[in-house]
Structure 1
Amino acid sequence: MQIMIVDDDDTQREMLQGFLDNQGYRTLTASNGEKALAIFRTTPVDLALLDNRMPGMTGVTLLEKMKTINPMVHVIMITAFGDINTVITTMKLGAVEFLEKPLDLSILMERIQDIEATMCREEDVQQLQQELEQKELPLKLVAQSSSMKEVLSLVSRVAQQDWPVLVYGETGTGKEVISRLIHLTGNRDKEPFIDINCAAIPENLFESELFGHIKGAFTGASNNRRGCFETAHGGTLFMDEIGELPLALQPKLLRTIQEQKVKKIGSEHDIPVDVRLISATNRDLRQMVEKGDFREDLYYRINVLEIHIPPLRERKTDIPILLDLFLEKYSKNKFSFSPDAVDALIKYPFPGNVRELEHIVQRTVTFARTTVIQARDLPEEVRRHKAVGDVGNLEERLADVEREMIISALEKTGWVQTKAADILGISERVLRYKMKKNDISKQT
């Protein structure tokens, strides 16, 4: 990362440059806004640390000019004369952070590392989206929220490996879509993607489904049959709802993963298989391990790499884009949602997640009498939630509202706590206390 330091105070500028150089960053310096702009026009800059009060051009004016040249540059404003109006102005212009002098270098480093992580995530997402466009994949993904951008960033890295992946999240969050995306953007994309739903197979047929059988192995086995591992050879086997796998079969699955060999029912011979395993679950496998319902050694075998899909209620900025996506998919006429309908949907908690939203769009466009869908056209459960909300203890309801507001503010600001605190009208220290109290973290 290349960082430009702009400050008319020679001592401050040199101190920051020495500190950042020692941290391994490449640095550029300027003593005023005019010199900074001259450098910025000709040299790539990832992050600018701007003093606000300087002779001639102020930091706020410099920020505005820099954003005109390159809207993607990240900026941290640093000043000894912080006030709320300056904060609001710089944030509107696109500053990432606002720090006051004397600088706490540990906080500065924390902010720079957050920006680095954001830049890496955005680069991963951009590369993945380019790959999707080049391959013309039959998948459309929505990642407006920071949490879904993080998921796509993980996918872009996980797809290049062959290690087992565990995708977990609530029902309807899109675990199968993410699993298919891992396969289609990896090095096995030309090979089979075989999916098996562990919750939909009778227990007495499970072993045959996974490993196959030979003719005469049991009553009704009139022919040889290949199992899912053989069918997926060279490609990917997706085991959905793996938490439903019978305990008696788990040792055999563990052996297959370890040795990359399967033994059909009734056969004495092993068959080599080359399969990339992706598992998905909406259950807490760690808790199942503690209760003895899932083997611990198998858990660690399938969970080499892990991806959590956040529920829709925690990524509400994705809802308007998902609405457009589903309207394009399911409506023959040019339907649209009115602002009050969108507002009602954003406030609804979606216990069924993205799948529920998709079904709501299907139902709504089927029964709507006009092409502009109003709040009154939405299903009863959505209208009822908007009208009365959840019933419960007042203290608990207020706590829920507080938690939702904090998460929403953090997502809007890319989990930059200083900016989120400003939006909420509280100090960063109070925000951190409330995050700890409500058990809120970036993985929430």
Structure 2
Amino acid sequence: MRGADALSPIRVLIAEDEAHLGAILEQFMTARGFQVRIVRDGKSALELLRSEAFDVALLDVVMPELDGLEVLRLVREEPLPPEIIVITGNGTIETAIAALKLGAYDFLSKPYRMAEIEVLVRRAWEKRMLARDNHHMQSRLRRAAPALTFVTQYAPLRAVLAMVEKVAPSTSPVLVTGESGTGKDLIARLLHAHGSNPDGPFVDLNCAALAEALLETELFGVEKGAFPGADQRKLGLFELAAGGTLYLDNIGELDLRLQAKLLRALETGSFFRVGGTQKVEVNVRVIASSTLDLSRMVQAEAFRDDLLHRINTIRIALPPLRDRVVDVPLLAQHFLEQFGSPVPRLSDDAVTVLERYRWPGNARELRNVMERASLLAADGTVSAADLPLGADVGAGARPTPVMTLSLAELERRHIAEILDRCQWHQGQAAELLGISPKTLYRKIREYGFKRPAGRGDKA
């Protein structure tokens, strides 16, 4: 990373209200190979530092509009700010201490030698490069994990994965659709890992997990003083994902007003923080996912048609696990390898039960079932008795005739079964079902479920 930066000139901003001194300093720095911009007042310095990327800034303390220390304070609130060297003609210990407390790299009094300025700027640049290298290294360590793999031998899904690898280097938005638990999150991470900037940030947001009032500030950030309680600037996920990927899970849960703001951000590559007047420009790839039929939501005027067209540039549809029966034993053994030590094996009757079950919770449900089974396995073998899938899929039984039931009835029965299995622990049930606790609460009311006597509230 630093090798690439070393090929580019160090970008320096000079904020000096004395025109003659500023011109001399600009000429000297340019001759030394620096890329220099110069302004004459604090307000212009602040605007330029917010709109362009600099490595080092030289700020005079006494300037029109805003003084150098105020510019320093405001700039240090920005993400990845440049290193600041404060310069003053009336150097005092108090001013130096104030500058260093505000985060200045160093403090310099006039008159100074040009060679001294050059040395300080190069040292400040070195510090900035080390800090940035450390940031990237920490990001890589956080992402250090076993290689992402989508376990399948189902031919149609392997074709989908081939398309994922093909479109990953693109910066176009991607919409991933499929039932809950089919692997949409994994596809989003694969797109990022094989994308043009895999070392960039991967930031995800479950749009169904937050109240509508919080989603806007979470996405776009908020300026200090925008509303009561906003006592400092907060960066939104769009800014935190700059140079990488923003993954919006359950995008159909966004309200229409927020959909409009998201559309503008996608079209222009810029937005305003809540309560802000300074436009923020970012380069982010957006991946969205949904378990809902967004086309039907458009017809019902619950989702914007123009936003759907914008995020649907590339669409990846994932099949449910019940259509991938060939993958069930393969996935089951894969999950056992994650949980068991030594790894249990699947008995023939267990494989039969697994293949006959309909898996309404898809791979996520299978993973939870195998985690439980690995704990119950006797003599290193998972048998049918270790699988809590109901007697109707036991050895020798025929699959449940689900085609005679409506989708709503299937959903009702499945939610009831999961609630009972979790002893009405709604947090665990929501995780197993792959939905938010808010959605589960709505479903409980919709289907008129009543908590069994003797089971207290659990969340």
Work out whether the TM-score is over 0.5. yes
Task: Give the 3-state SS of the residue equivalent to 1:225 in structure 2.
Answer: coil
Match of 1:317 among 309, 326, 335: 326
Write the distance in 2 (CA, Å) between the matches of 1:337 and 1:317. 15
Per the alignment, residue 400 of structure 2 pairs with 390
Write the distance in 2 (CA, Å) between the matches of 1:286 and 1:208. 27
Tell whether 2:253 aligns with 1:244: yes
Tell whether 2:157 aligns with 1:148: yes
Q: How far did residue 261 of structure 1 move?
A: 0.3
8 Å CA contact retained: 2:356, 2:399? no
8 Å CA contact retained: 2:376, 2:382? no
Larger Rg: 2
Match of 2:148 among 118, 128, 139: 139
Gaps of 5+ in 1: 1-134, 397-444
Tell whether 2:309 aligns with 1:300: yes
Residue 257 and residue 342 in structure 1: after superposition, are their counterparts in 2 closer, same or farther (change >3 A)?
Answer: same
Q: How far did residue 266 of structure 1 move?
A: 0.8
Write the distance in 2 (CA, Å) between the matches of 1:167 and 1:318. 20
Write the distance in 1 (CA, Å) between the matches of 2:245 and 2:223. 23
Amino acid at match of 1:329: Q
Residue 293 and residue 303 in structure 1: after superposition, are their counterparts in 2 closer, same or farther (change >3 A)?
Answer: same
Per the alignment, residue 387 of structure 2 pairs with 378
Q: How far did residue 321 of structure 1 move?
A: 1.6
Amino acid at match of 2:249: D
How many residues in Structure 1 have an aligned counterpart in Structure 2?
Answer: 261
Task: Give the 3-state SS of the residue equivalent to 1:265 in structure 2.
Answer: coil
Per the alignment, residue 7 of structure 2 pairs with none
Residue 307 and residue 395 in structure 1: after superposition, are their counterparts in 2 closer, same or farther (change >3 A)?
Answer: closer
Q: How far did residue 190 of structure 1 move?
A: 0.8
Q: How far did residue 384 of structure 1 move?
A: 2.6
Equivalent residue runs for 1:308-347 within 5 Å: 308-347=317-356
Deviations 1:110-145 (A, max 9, x none): xxxxxxxxxxxxxxxxxxxxxxxxx98531221201
Residue 337 and residue 216 in structure 1: after superposition, are their counterparts in 2 closer, same or farther (change >3 A)?
Answer: same
Residue 302 and residue 393 in structure 1: after superposition, are their counterparts in 2 closer, same or farther (change >3 A)?
Answer: closer
Match of 1:201 among 200, 206, 210: 210
Higher relative contact order (CA 8 A, sep 6+): 1
Q: How far did residue 394 of structure 1 move?
A: 8.0
Residue 362 and residue 298 in structure 1: after superposition, are their counterparts in 2 closer, same or farther (change >3 A)?
Answer: same
Write the distance in 1 (CA, Å) between the matches of 2:288 and 2:238. 13
Write the distance in 2 (CA, Å) between the matches of 1:325 and 1:389. 24
Q: How far did residue 318 of structure 1 move?
A: 1.3
Amino acid at match of 2:351: V
Write the distance in 2 (CA, Å) between the matches of 1:377 and 1:279. 37
Match of 1:170 among 163, 166, 179: 179
Write the distance in 1 (CA, Å) between the matches of 2:186 and 2:175. 13
Residue 342 and residue 307 in structure 1: after superposition, are their counterparts in 2 closer, same or farther (change >3 A)?
Answer: same
Residue 380 and residue 348 in structure 1: after superposition, are their counterparts in 2 closer, same or farther (change >3 A)?
Answer: closer
Residue 350 and residue 380 in structure 1: after superposition, are their counterparts in 2 closer, same or farther (change >3 A)?
Answer: closer
Residue 201 and residue 392 in structure 1: after superposition, are their counterparts in 2 closer, same or farther (change >3 A)?
Answer: closer
Task: Give the 3-state SS of the residue equivalent to 1:318 in structure 2.
Answer: helix
Q: How far did residue 391 of structure 1 move?
A: 4.9
Amino acid at match of 1:289: V
Q: How far did residue 293 of structure 1 move?
A: 0.1
Q: How far did residue 392 of structure 1 move?
A: 7.0
TM-score for both structures, normalised by structure 1: 0.57
8 Å CA contact retained: 1:147, 1:315? no
Per the alignment, residue 433 of structure 1 pairs with none
Equivalent residue runs for 1:177-326 within 5 Å: 177-326=186-335
Task: Give the 3-state SS of the residue equivalent to 1:324 in structure 2.
Answer: helix
Per the alignment, residue 431 of structure 2 pairs with none
Deviations 1:64-115 (A, max 9, x none): xxxxxxxxxxxxxxxxxxxxxxxxxxxxxxxxxxxxxxxxxxxxxxxxxxxx
Task: Give the 3-state SS of the residue equivalent to 2:204 in structure 1.
Answer: strand
Amino acid at match of 1:346: E
Q: Indicate the RMSD between aligned Cα atoms, in angstroms.
A: 2.0
Identity, % of aligned positions: 42
TM-score for both structures, normalised by structure 2: 0.55
Gaps of 5+ in 2: 1-143, 407-459
8 Å CA contact retained: 1:360, 1:379? yes
Task: Give the 3-state SS of the residue equivalent to 1:160 in structure 2.
Answer: coil
Residue 137 and residue 361 in structure 1: after superposition, are their counterparts in 2 closer, same or farther (change >3 A)?
Answer: closer
Residue 363 and residue 230 in structure 1: after superposition, are their counterparts in 2 closer, same or farther (change >3 A)?
Answer: same
